[in-house]
Amino acid sequence: MRQVVLDTETTGLEVRDGHRIIEIGAVEMVHRRRTGRTFHKYLQPDRAVDAGAQAVHGITDAFLADKPRFADVVEDFLAFIRGAELVIHNAAFDVGFIDQELARLDGSHPPVTEICTVTDTLMLARRLHPGQRNSLDALCKRYEIDNSQRDLHGALLDSEILCDVYLALTGGQGALWSDSQEHDESGAGELRSAPRAVDPSRPPLRVITATTEEREAHETWLRRLDEAAGGACVWRRIEEKET
């Protein structure tokens, strides 16, 4: 499963007012693990950055003056996201801006949703935490994710932070392998050395069974996770196979 966690920064808030993308940041994950591949570009928008937007991300007109335009990077960008599941916080905002940029070109590029699926982590968070603040900063605080470097918004930094937030929202990192193990592209791992045998002289392990309350809490969590994942909770699938 290939996912691309994405964020943009713009000259202002409203697409309909002609605002443009000035930064795109994206981080690739395969089987819920970062691959190390990223996409990051600053863009010349051919218009001024609103003062309010600049206060959020700190990107100035002078800094953008010599940067490429969206048309210059579009093929590389589409090659990076094509066929992936895009994971975006408040996806309607970013997708709306990307679609506008694509529409400004020669008309040969379809909307984002025709080349990718899109998961909105803001919608996931609202289902899991109704009535609570679900901004990226609020979720970092809730899930104890370090965002201390986020003095200003930045597309690549926010994408990296959103990777951790998404994994927390959907049940944690999927791979159970340690850094000392090799992985193939399918996500399976092979031990580099033979597994160690358990010492037969050690005392027997104490088995502690879950209480009724713990089992009920576990069932509630699985139900919430299944709803957030759109019916794709792995533990539910395991239960179905066992029964």
Q: Which residues are designated catalytic?
A: 153
Please, are residues 6 and 159 in contact by the beta-carbon 8 Å criterion? yes
Task: Give me the residues paired with residue 189 across strands.
Answer: 183
Q: At what angle do helices 70-81 and 91-103 cross, to 10 degrees?
A: 130
End-to-end CA distance of the chain: 26
Query: How far apart are alpha carbons 193 and 45 in whole angstroms?
Result: 53
Query: How far apart are alpha carbons 59 and 73 in whole angstroms?
Result: 19
Token reading at 136: 């990226």
Please, are residues 159 and 28 in contact by the beta-carbon 8 Å criterion? no
3 state DSSP class of 133: coil
110 Cβ neighbours under 8 A, 6+ residues apart: 102
Query: How far apart are alpha carbons 178 and 168 in whole angstroms?
Result: 18
